[in-house]
């Protein structure tokens, strides 16, 4: 079986790896470089509890399933590629600032334990005085998303896959209603199966009937990276609070992230930088002495209902793996498992994620935007 995957982010490569191991001949087309989209600028939190607090939703179930796959996925990737991907399941702190309303009673995904502000500070001494209380979620993990993508690319190629970087998929070709090819500036690739895994760019390829175009909108996020003064240690845990998250990675911390509907704009803004720094310093006052070492912007792929889009599209031969929104890294092993088994074994996919669920609807995406812009108030905004 020949498969063409569009997008060499974590989803496309993980699916490609699984399919190649299952005996398929797989080519991944990438408009830029491997892992250069949302993966490059991702915090790498595997944050089922922090991101998907309410238990029992299809997405929270999917997150738990992905979380359970992660230890084996990480071990296999590291063993095969020889690249350390920084996978650590050492829990996250979810903080409530003084003056914030108590946390809703809705149950968090997975185990968690309430902590006093003092107990939270004992775990993370950089935390300031302005805390009300905290929750420790021990099942939360993290991974270095950039190393993850490098490792995935190595594993995929070792399994016989081919990555064609800087080769943009421009136009799909249908014959008798079935997907038969995708044209790039260089050639037309023919295959039995095509998988759209192009993240925020999933709706940009020509040639599809309108109802088959994945309903994906880019949601911009900016992240800053801070380096400590000499002799100062980075936090041990991922910390969430005051509207941001702080992620330790390679002796620095990532502070993220803004949320904004800005089309395909990935410019770096002073307003986001200032806001992220201020919020992070509200959590950990000592960060005011840390040096800004990087500033990133990326685009999350979001569906109108915020859920992943996984499965068969309305065009024969075309499958979709998109809409991972804020959870692309967490979901990766589960997306790879579902899509590879769908293609190879024709398993059923959760109808909540069915790419065809939007047909005949005019649903609009509702995004909670961060109040980092002058005059911004964090209000929910709609986009079609
Ligand atoms: N998962 C974190 C973010 O999208 O900012």
Residue nearest to atom 5 of ligand 1 (CA): 257
Let me know whether 347 and 206 are in one domain: yes
Q: Could you tell me which of 111, 286, 298 has the C-alpha nearest to residue 199?
A: 298
Instruction: Verify whether ligand 1 is closer than 6 Å to residue 256 (CB atom).
Output: yes
Distance 51 CA to ligand 1 centre (A): 8
Q: Burial level of 282, CB count in 10 A (0-12/13-18/19+)?
A: middle
Let me know whether 13 and 64 are in one domain: yes
Let me know whether 77 and 225 are in one domain: no
Let me know whether 78 and 152 are in one domain: yes
Q: What is the pTM of this model?
A: 0.94
Work out which ligand 1 atom sits closest to the CA atom of 256.
Answer: 5
Q: What is the CATH number of the domain that holds 126?
A: 3.30.9.10
Residue nearest to atom 1 of ligand 1 (CA): 326
Let me know whether 18 and 126 are in one domain: no
Distance 142 CA to ligand 1 centre (A): 12
Residue 363 falls inside a structural domain: no
Given a cut of 50, the residues of the chain with pLDDT beneath it are 379, 382-384
State which H helix or E strand residue 115 sits in.
strand 113-116
Instruction: Verify whether ligand 1 is closer than 6 Å to residue 189 (CB atom).
Output: no
CA separation for the pair 65, 71 (Å, rounded): 12
How does strand 309-312 pair with strand 291-302? Answer: unpaired
Residue nearest to atom 3 of ligand 1 (CA): 326
Q: What is the pLDDT of residue 383?
A: 46
Instruction: Verify whether ligand 1 is closer than 6 Å to residue 301 (CB atom).
Output: no
Let me know whether 80 and 226 are in one domain: no
CA separation for the pair 381, 307 (Å, rounded): 17
When divided into structural domains, the chain yields a total of 2
Let me know whether 327 and 345 are in one domain: yes
Let me know whether 150 and 68 are in one domain: yes
Residue 12 falls inside a structural domain: yes
Q: Identify the domain containing residue 348 by its residue range.
A: 2-85+144-215+304-358
Residue 162 falls inside a structural domain: yes
CA separation for the pair 156, 150 (Å, rounded): 10
Work out which ligand 1 atom sits closest to the CA atom of 325.
Answer: 4
Q: What is the pLDDT of residue 107?
A: 54
Of 50, 238, 300, best ligand 1 pocket probe by most atoms within 8 Å of the beta carbon: 300
Instruction: Verify whether ligand 1 is closer than 6 Å to residue 228 (CB atom).
Output: no
- For the segment 200-240, what is each residue's pLDDT rounded down to a tens digit? 999 999 999 999 999 999 999 999 999 999 999 999 999 99
Let me know whether 152 and 273 are in one domain: no
92 near 50, Cβ under 8 Å?
yes
Instruction: Verify whether ligand 1 is closer than 6 Å to residue 257 (CB atom).
Output: yes
- For the segment 121-164, what is each residue's pLDDT rounded down to a tens digit? 999 999 999 999 999 999 999 999 999 999 999 999 999 999 99
Residue 245 falls inside a structural domain: yes
Let me know whether 153 and 270 are in one domain: no
Q: What is the CATH number of the domain that holds 328?
A: 3.50.50.60
CA separation for the pair 177, 57 (Å, rounded): 34
Only one residue has tokens 């069915």, namely: 354
Let me know whether 293 and 283 are in one domain: yes
HEC profile for 301-319?
Answer: EECCCCCCEEEECCCECEE
Residue 179 falls inside a structural domain: yes
Work out which ligand 1 atom sits closest to the CA atom of 51.
Answer: 1
Residue nearest to atom 4 of ligand 1 (CA): 326
Let me know whether 131 and 238 are in one domain: yes
Instruction: Verify whether ligand 1 is closer than 6 Å to residue 43 (CB atom).
Output: yes
């Amino acid at each position: 079986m020949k498969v063409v995957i569009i997008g060499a982010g974590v989803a496309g490569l993980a699916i490609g790896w699984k399919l190649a191991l299952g005996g398929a001949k797989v080519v991944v087309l990438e408009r830029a470089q491997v892992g250069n989209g949302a993966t490059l600028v991702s915090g790498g939190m595997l944050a089922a509890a922090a991101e998907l607090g309410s238990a029992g939703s299809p997405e929270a179930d999917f997150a738990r399933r992905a979380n359970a796959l992660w230890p084996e996925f990480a071990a296999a990737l590291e063993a095969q590629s020889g690249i350390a991907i920084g996978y650590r399941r050492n829990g996250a702190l979810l903080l409530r600032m003084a003056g914030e309303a108590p946390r809703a009673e809705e149950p968090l995904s997975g185990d968690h334990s309430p902590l006093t502000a003092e107990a939270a500070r004992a775990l993370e001494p950089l935390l300031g005085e302005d805390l009300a209380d905290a929750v420790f979620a021990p099942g939360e993990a993290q991974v270095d998303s950039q190393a993850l993508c490098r490792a995935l690319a190595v594993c995929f190629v070792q399994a016989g896959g081919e990555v064609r970087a800087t080769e943009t998929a421009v136009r799909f070709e249908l014959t008798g209603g079935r997907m038969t090819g995708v044209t790039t500036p260089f050639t037309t690739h023919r295959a039995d199966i095509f998988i759209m895994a192009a993240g925020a760019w999933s709706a940009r390829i020509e040639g599809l009937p309108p109802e088959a175009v994945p309903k994906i909108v880019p949601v911009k996020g900016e992240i800053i990276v801070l380096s400590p003064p000499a002799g100062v240690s980075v936090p041990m845990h991922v910390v969430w609070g005051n509207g941001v998250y702080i992620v330790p990675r390679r002796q620095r911390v990532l502070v993220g992230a803004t949320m904004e509907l800005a089309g395909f704009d990935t410019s770096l803004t002073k307003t986001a930088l200032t806001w992220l720094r201020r919020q992070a310093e509200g959590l950990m006052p000592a960060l005011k002495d840390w040096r800004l070492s990087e500033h990133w912007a990326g685009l999350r792929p979001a569906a109108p209902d915020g859920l992943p889009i996984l499965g068969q599209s309305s065009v024969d031969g075309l499958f979709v793996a998109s809409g991972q929104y804020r959870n692309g890294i967490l979901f990766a092993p589960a997306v790879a498992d579902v899509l590879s088994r769908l293609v190879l074994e024709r398993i059923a996919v959760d109808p909540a994620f069915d790419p065809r669920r939007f047909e005949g609807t005019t649903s609009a995406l509702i995004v909670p935007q961060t109040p980092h812009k002058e005059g911004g108030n964090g209000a929910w905004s709609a986009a079609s």
